[in-house]
Amino acid sequence: MNYIFEGVIGAFYLLLAKDPETYSAIWTTLRLSTLSITCTLIVGIPLGFLLGHYNFPGKRAVRTLVDTLLALPTVVIGLLVYAFISRRGPLGDLGLLFTIPGVAIGQFILALPIVVSLTASAIEGIDPKIYLTLRTLGASDMQAALSSMWEGRYAVTAAAVTAYSRVISEVGVSMMIGGNIKWHTRTITTAIALETGKGEFSMGIALGIVLLAFALTANTLVSSLRRRA
Amino acid sequence: MNYIFEGVIGAFYLLLAKDPETYSAIWTTLRLSTLSITCTLIVGIPLGFLLGHYNFPGKRAVRTLVDTLLALPTVVIGLLVYAFISRRGPLGDLGLLFTIPGVAIGQFILALPIVVSLTASAIEGIDPKIYLTLRTLGASDMQAALSSMWEGRYAVTAAAVTAYSRVISEVGVSMMIGGNIKWHTRTITTAIALETGKGEFSMGIALGIVLLAFALTANTLVSSLRRRA
Amino acid sequence: ASQYLMMATTTSTDNTGLLNVIAPAFEKTTKIELRWTAVGTGKALELGKNCDVDVLLVHAPDKEKKFIEEGYGINRREVMYNDFVIIGPRTDPAGIKGLKAIDALKRIKSKKAPFVSRGDNSGTHSMELELWKKANITNIDKEEWYIQTGQGMLNTINIAAERDGYTLTDRGTFIKYEANHNGNPPLVILVEGDQLLFNQYSVIAINPKRCPKVKYDLALKFIEWITSDEGQKLIADFRLMGKQLFVPNAAR
Amino acid sequence: MKNIFRLENIVHRYSERTVLDISKLEIAEGEVVALVGPNGSGKSTLLRILAFLEKPTEGTVFYNGKLVKEPSFTQRREVTLLLQNSPLLRRTVEENVSYGLKMRKDTHNIKERVKRALEMVGLSPEIFAKRKWFELSGGEAQRVALAARLILRPKVILLDEPTASVDSESARIIKEAVFKARDEWGSTLVIVTHDLPWVYQITEKILSLFKGKLINYVPENVLAGDWKPYNDGLLALRLADGQILIGAGSPQSGSLALLDPKDVIICTEMPEEDSALNSILGTITSMSLISESGQVLVKVNAGGKTISSLVTEKSVKNLHLHPGLKVYLHFKASALKWI
Amino acid sequence: MKNIFRLENIVHRYSERTVLDISKLEIAEGEVVALVGPNGSGKSTLLRILAFLEKPTEGTVFYNGKLVKEPSFTQRREVTLLLQNSPLLRRTVEENVSYGLKMRKDTHNIKERVKRALEMVGLSPEIFAKRKWFELSGGEAQRVALAARLILRPKVILLDEPTASVDSESARIIKEAVFKARDEWGSTLVIVTHDLPWVYQITEKILSLFKGKLINYVPENVLAGDWKPYNDGLLALRLADGQILIGAGSPQSGSLALLDPKDVIICTEMPEEDSALNSILGTITSMSLISESGQVLVKVNAGGKTISSLVTEKSVKNLHLHPGLKVYLHFKASALKWI
Ligand SMILES: Nc1ncnc2c1ncn2[C@@H]1O[C@H](COP(=O)(O)OP(=O)(O)OP(=O)(O)O)[C@@H](O)[C@H]1O
Ligand SMILES: Nc1ncnc2c1ncn2[C@@H]1O[C@H](COP(=O)(O)OP(=O)(O)OP(=O)(O)O)[C@@H](O)[C@H]1O
Ligand SMILES: [Mg+2]
Ligand SMILES: [Mg+2]
């Protein structure tokens, strides 16, 4: 119980005293998650639309496959990406190991099924008459796709929020690919894992609260955007 | 690259040769995830309905809070639960630490925001006229809630699938609360983490494939249920 | 610093805080930044095999020798040691206090007292398995009292504390654990000082012949520095709770 | 007769905009009430309040003599509403129709009852019972939704444009079904429709809403336009063909003139000059018999506006009125009511 | 005149059920076509095919003389369809109406054009432009959807029940707006409606669908019921009041009799006996003038069935027909067509 109490106080201390290690981790988390979520949304939302909107043979199978990939553990993603970008892997020359872009690749793989699956569900939930309406008003395929996403914007945002949360709270990929290197690839979550490993439980909780504060900021932004729309 | 190749072969070996350690982990994963997802759905779906359906002051704030809790890292959840159920914690006498029910508590905390948030989105996506229709046909509050969930069944299932995937792929809570104790609380994911830590990367990938096979089975079941409805 | 050196090391060197002292000093002297990833010994060696790091700081002598023999690494130098201790509840239900390591394990087995093993192929785990072997105790994998955690040292100690069990730990981590409990931990040292419980840490440079891209020159500089008087003194002076954690023993 | 609904001082607002303002409204048990009014006049809103789906912003609702604060479950179940463009549930037709009964756990002989309800709205159970909700045409869906209400044999049936997209033959069947409900089960009916001939056929009790207010006129003749001051404090509206309508009174700006069809007399000749008397030339476009009342609703197109007049069958006969005939419409300037 | 649409051998099926079966259909440019038929006869399906939203299961569609396999983007944009119960987009009224123009990147003077489109459907831009999609009544929403189509000034406008839930004054405005489209922009119009008097008013070209097939009769008089064999190979249908309708021909079982209103003669006296001639007593319920054609559609209720007759204004005058009058309807047994 004390951990929690000390953790709360510790969180305030870290944030208010501008602890440089903590701020470095926050900054890394921000850069990393922005990079990975941007890529994921750019690729995932169109794929989710295609999967949710069109009927094609094997659609159910693809859907089941995507849902299955939701269960990919982060460590496994870390291993898979590592196999490719390790120096002896096929992409070793790119020097992506222990870098933020490298971790972003893993987080992309992690978040993509979430975005695809939930966007597809969001699109399926839209009244099919809406799509017909868009077409009768002369929307091109692309315009109709964008507009029907706008019609289902709450559910699409939910997909994005879920994926973003997954990305900032994950530790397996960041640890495996990023290496938790101090000042460089240490994110809030890998810092938490480190502190917990050291037995510094209240520090772990304090950093956890810092992460939640970070997520709260992001969500408040999203929520105020939502309100405007 | 070899890791992946060896991993695939290893997965077949583990499954076909009925490796007892692997099957023990599969069985633990099954028991644990069934317990935690059941509790989560029982609590989370009604809460999600309330949050999605009713308008009340502070609704947006609650929604933002739930979305923020989506970002709770598993290690932090592990720490929080540990603080309560450790022998020196307030619930220490229940002896929940290093047991499956103990881990289930943590996974419940992990999955609950997912179910609540996505169910709320699903409910918000339903044409409000549907709820009115249910009421005009004489449905009680409870019946109308259940029926409107049925109307949004695709999105509600998506919430459940996402939460279940999160539960079976998480490692932080299982490690922290379960202790990854061989033959007892070792799940597929904690086994993966262990093998990876040992440097047995191909074994980690093999176990990852085992987990995916597990998830595929579950999703195929869900998908065939979906088809019937 | 424009140049940096990538090191893979075991969790104990990082968790105790030693590297937080060494890295700045090294950079100050050589203008080379030290970056490290703290993983299990097994994983550290695997990273080395894949040429993903430049240098290793690990503690599993047998595996290290194999690593060198297979040509993955060169220039192995011993750096420091600490020792392993067997810890357990103050009440010591199995009564092992003061015994030799082998006898203590035999006692634990006969009393079926809970023994918590890391079970993760780490240096500590390798040492533990060796001790069981020396005590001629086999087939304990499925015993009710033999708990395998597959986790890091501190978590394993915590599990042992929760279970009122015994475990084998390196002294550094135990001091850290003591510190976490403000010097009054539930588990205390019951067996120490046995010659068998010696824990050697070494540095290894990755073989540039196999891995042309590794920063072999920087790795050599690091090895040279850590085995130098300056490095060795830093290790000797590193203290937690006023206790020394590692004993420098680099051979000249 | 007992009142089933009594509404007092009902005001309903959507974000500051008042859409309903009814000081008193009584509906007797077993009565058939037609609710008419232009788009946006508050008809659907009133039905939602009567169905306890919405609470009025202000005012009190009495149901069956009892003040309703929170409608009880039984109260709610006694009243059913067919929403405007009612959606179907994502189930088969059969499940849609039986839904209400299942919720009531009243499943005795349910297959048979679903069959009969479908037949009541003119849908063949063999063809439609197993169809999915999206495998229906617009009118078919509308009728399934109606069947889902009729099967409940409720005390009060509120229907929001039940025949909007239904073909004429089916409309007839539906009208019959609705009457069956009143005659056999004694249901009270409130029906919103734009089909005025039907309204006149089914009931004498016509509630006419206009901008949220109950008015005493059937809004057959709503004379909107640019009313301008004229001699003697009168107002004038110029029609497209140059004729001038004259009204008395002092309306507020932007208000509309209403003219009760009963106040309009049809003549075949030009009457004497009288400044306060309108006498407008137009062509009869249609004539409809109003059920058994022996009255005929005559619609006349005068300068692009349609003005209706309610005349007796006898005068239709005497005047030899017929569609296409040019006639004069006479009504007093004071017959125009302003709202 | 040039054909804008030519359909050949169109068959459309939903999971094995044939809902449309048209061997040939031509629609000329600038024409106004009314599409009528009972619920489920395939009207909406046909409109979806004309709007290129759906591909017929079999058959070919020519648009503007060209065979359409995959409709080009331009082709699609030239045709707009108002869906039955058209949903609005989850945006403001203004954004709904301007959506099509924005998609065309044609945003010149857009505010003004939105205003005019709203006025065209009788909605005040000041009141409605900023409203959200759900802040509208049923009829208001319907009119916003229509405005969103009219603003595009398309070559072809397909309207699926544009006046279904619209009040009579607004219906008049909409009807005017639709004509403006034809007269000013030369648009081709296809209108689905159950409002038959309107149909007769607007066009001579009436396409009548019945169970997916084009038939040559306006389905005013669909005489469904239990037709039974009678003397001389004729068939008979007993009405509720005991009178008997007689038909000739050999229909398939379950088929319906159609009677063209033009084939029905109204008399005020009982004619001579003739076994092959029907002579049914009924009461006139309504009479409507058919635009400028000088004809009047007279509806007669005979034994619960409504039978329409199309007569000249002159004979209406001569016979002194008026609602409420009892008349005899004469038509040959062979005038009944079976489908
Ligand atoms: N949810 C809402 N929010 C704001 N305004 C609304 C809402 N629902 C309806 N209105 C407005 O309230 C008024 C009354 O609407 P109502 O639906 O009761 O009209 P109605 O008489 O049923 O019209 P119609 O014949 O078109 O169905 C209209 O001006 C409408 O724009
Ligand atoms: N998606 C669908 N799947 C299966 N059957 C359908 C589907 N849509 C329509 N139908 C059926 O096709 C037939 C024609 O439907 P359509 O909507 O074209 O009729 P309609 O003439 O527009 O009728 P209404 O006047 O009721 O709008 C109907 O029998 C209907 O049940
Ligand atoms: Mg309405
Ligand atoms: Mg239709």
Provide, rounded to the nearest whole percent, the portion of chain B with pLDDT above 90.
Answer: 61
**Same-domain status, E96 and E198:** yes
**Are D227 and D166 within one domain?**
no
Residue A8 belongs to a domain = no
Helix axes A74-85, B188-198, angle to 10 degrees: 30
Three-state DSSP state, E268: coil
Measured CA to CA, the distance from residue C101 to residue C81 in angstroms comes to 18
Closest CA to C146 of C189, C193, C112: C112
- Nearest residue (by CA) to ligand 2, atom 24, is E39
Nearest by CB to residue D289, choosing from E40, E165, E284, is E284
B137 CB within 8 Å of a chain D CB: yes
Cβ contacts of E152 on chain A, cutoff 8 Å: 137-138
**3-state secondary structure (DSSP) of residue B121:** helix
Write down which residue in D180, D210, D240 finishes a domain.
D210
Specify the pLDDT at position D217: 62
Chain B residues within an 8 Å CB radius of D100: 137-139
Chain B residue with Cα closest to D78: B138
In this predicted structure, the answer to whether residue E219 has a pLDDT above a threshold of 60 is no
Q: What is the pLDDT of residue D79?
A: 94
Which range has the worst mean pLDDT, B62-76, C196-210, E247-261? E247-261
CA E229 centroid distance within chain: 33
In this structure, the dihedral spanned by the alpha carbons of residues C23, C29, C31 and C33, taken in order and rounded to 10 degrees, is: -10
Task: Dihedral sign for Cα D198, D201, D203, D204, please.
Answer: positive
Ligand at shortest distance from the CA of E165:
1
**Which tokens hold the place of D1?**
């007769």
Do the Cβ atoms of E89 and A139 come within 8 Å?
no
**β-strand pairing of D337-338 with D257-259:** antiparallel
Instruction: Answer yes or no: do D34 and D165 share one domain.
Output: yes
Whether pLDDT at E335 is above 80: yes
Single-letter residue type at D203: T
Residues in C touching B28 (Cβ below 8 Å): none
Tell me the C-alpha distance between A31 and A188, whole Å.
12
Task: Give the model confidence (pLDDT) of A78-88 as tens digits.
Answer: 999 999 999 88
Is A77 domain-assigned? Answer: yes
pLDDT category of residue E44 using cuts at 50, 70 and 90: very high
- Same domain assignment for residues D9 and D133: yes
| Residues 6+ away with beta carbon under 8 Å from E85 | A129, D85, D138, D165, E164
**Domain-embedded: residue B131:** yes
Q: Is the pLDDT of residue B228 over 70?
A: no
Under 8 Å CB pairs connecting chains A and B tally to 209
Average pLDDT over residues B116-133: 92
Chain-chain contact of E100 with A138 (C-beta, under 8 angstroms) = yes
Q: Is B52 a domain residue?
A: yes
Per the domain annotation, does A66 fall within a domain?
yes
Domain ends where: D151, D181, D210?
Answer: D210
> Cα-flanking dihedrals φ and ψ of residue E111, to 5°?
-60, -45
* E45 Cα: distance to centroid of ligand 2 (angstroms): 6
Inter-chain contact D285–E284, Cβ cutoff 8 Å? no
Q: Which pairs with CB-CB distance under 8 Å and at least 24 residues apart come from D234-241?
A: D234/D275, D234/D276, D234/D333, D239/D280, D239/D302, D239/D303, D239/D304, D239/D305, D240/D303, D240/D304, D240/D305, D241/D302, D241/D303, D241/D304
Strands E221-223 and E257-259: antiparallel
| Domain extent at residue A126 | 20-228
Residue E152 sits in the same domain as residue E30? yes
Check residue A82 and give its pLDDT: 93
Which residue lies with its CA nearest to atom 25 of ligand 1? D39
Dist. CA B228 → ligand 3 center (Å)? 36
Mutation probe of ligand 2 site: the residue of D136, D146, D166 with most atoms within 8 A of C-beta:
D136
Interface contact B192-A76, CB threshold 8 A: yes
Contacts of D48 in chain B (CB under 8 A): 132
Instruction: Find the domain containing E28 and state its range.
Output: 3-210
User: Quick one: pLDDT at residue B222?
Assistant: 86
Q: Whose CA is nearest to atom 18 of ligand 1?
A: D42
Cα(A57) to centroid of ligand 2, in Å? 25
CA of B153, closest CA in chain D: separation in Å?
A: 10
Q: How far apart are CA C96 and CA D270, in angstroms?
A: 128
**Residue A162 within any structural domain of the chain:** yes
The number of the ligand 2 atom at minimal distance from the alpha carbon of E212 is: 14
| Total residue count of chain C as it appears in this document | 252
Asked whether the beta carbons of D144 and D121 are under 8 A apart, the reply is: yes
Out of B87, B175, B200, the one facing C151 most closely (by C-beta) is B175
Least confident of A20-29, A59-68, D198-207: D198-207
Quick one: which ligand is closest to E82's CA?
4
Q: Which of A8-12, A137-141, D253-257 has the lowest mean pLDDT?
A: D253-257
Per-residue pLDDT at D42 exceeds 90: yes
Q: List the structure tokens of B11.
A: 């997965």
For residues E80 and E198, membership in a common domain is answered with: yes
What stretches of B17-73 show up as alpha helix (H) in DSSP?
20-53, 59-69
Q: Dump pLDDT digits (tens) for D55-72.
A: 999 999 999 999 998 889
Do E308 and E217 contact (CB within 8 A), yes or no? no
Task: Flag the least confident range among B117-126, D94-103, D199-208.
Answer: D199-208
Average pLDDT in the A5-10 region? 87
Q: What is the pLDDT of residues E84-137, one digit of tens each?
A: 999 999 999 999 999 999 999 999 999 999 999 999 998 999 999 999 999 999
- Across residues A31-59, what is the average pLDDT? 95
Give the range among C25-39, C54-68, D217-231 with minimum mean pLDDT. Answer: D217-231
The per-residue pLDDT for A163 is: 95
Q: Which of C1-5, C43-47, E143-147 is least confident?
A: C1-5
Instruction: Say yes or no: D113 and D39 in one domain.
Output: yes
Same-domain status, D304 and D225: yes
Over range C83-87, report the average pLDDT.
Answer: 93
Cβ–Cβ of D89/B139 closer than 8 Å?
A: no
Indicate if E262 and E198 belong to the same structural domain. no
Is residue A23 within a helix (H) or strand (E), and if so which, with residue range?
A: helix A20-53
Q: What is the CATH number of the domain that holds E179?
A: 3.40.50.300
Residue E291: pLDDT band by 50, 70, 90 thresholds?
Answer: low
Q: Is D219 in the pocket of ligand 1 (CB under 6 A)?
A: no
Atom number, ligand 1, closest to the C-alpha of residue D42: 18
- Under the banding of pLDDT at 50, 70 and 90, the label for residue E270 is confident
Q: Find out whether the beta carbon of D39 lies less than 6 Å from any atom of ligand 1.
A: yes
pLDDT at E251 over 80: no
Chain A positions in Cβ-Cβ contact with residue B201 (cut-off 8 Å): 79, 82-83
- Pairwise CA distance, residues E111 & E109, whole Å: 6
Partner residue facing E87 (CB), from A133, A143, A150: A133
Q: Is D160 found in the same domain as D125?
A: yes
**Identity of the amino acid at B194:** L
**Nearest-Cα residue of chain A relative to residue B152:** A125
Query: How many A from CA of D160 to the centre of ligand 3?
Result: 7
Q: What does pTM read for this prediction?
A: 0.87
Distances, alpha carbon D16 to alpha carbons B184, C115, E135, E140, in Å = 63, 73, 12, 19
The whole-number pLDDT of residue A186 equals 94
Residue D309: CB atoms within 10 A of its CB come to 27
Q: Over the stretch D230-253, which tens digit does the pLDDT of each residue have? A: 877 788 888 888 888 888 877 766
Q: B8 lies in a domain?
A: no
Looking at E210, E230, E265, the residue that finishes a domain is: E210
Residues E70, E99, single domain; the answer is: yes
Number of structural domains chain D divides into? 2
pLDDT mean over A15-29: 91
Chain C residues inside the 8 Å CB shell of B198: 40, 42-43, 120-122
Mean pLDDT for chain A?
A: 91
Best residue in A94, A98, A177, A198 to probe C by mutation, most C CBs within 10 Å? A198
Q: Phi, psi at residue E191, to the nearest 5°?
A: -125, 125
**Whether residue D219 has pLDDT greater than 70:** no
Q: How many domains does chain B have?
A: 1
CATH number for the domain that contains residue E282: 2.40.50.100
What distances in angstroms separate CA A138 from CA A227, E17, E84, E98, E105, one per listed residue?
Answer: 28, 30, 17, 12, 11
Asked if the Cβ–Cβ distance from C180 to A199 is below 8 Å, we say yes
- Residue E197 predicted with pLDDT over 80: no
Contact A133 E90 (CB under 8 A): no
Q: Which helix (H) or strand (E) holds C90?
A: none
Residue C99 has pLDDT above 60, yes or no: yes
Token pair listed for D219: 């809004």
The answer on E222 and E148 residing in a single domain is no
B141 domain residue, yes or no: yes
Read off the tokens for D323.
């569609």
* For residues D310-314, average pLDDT: 86
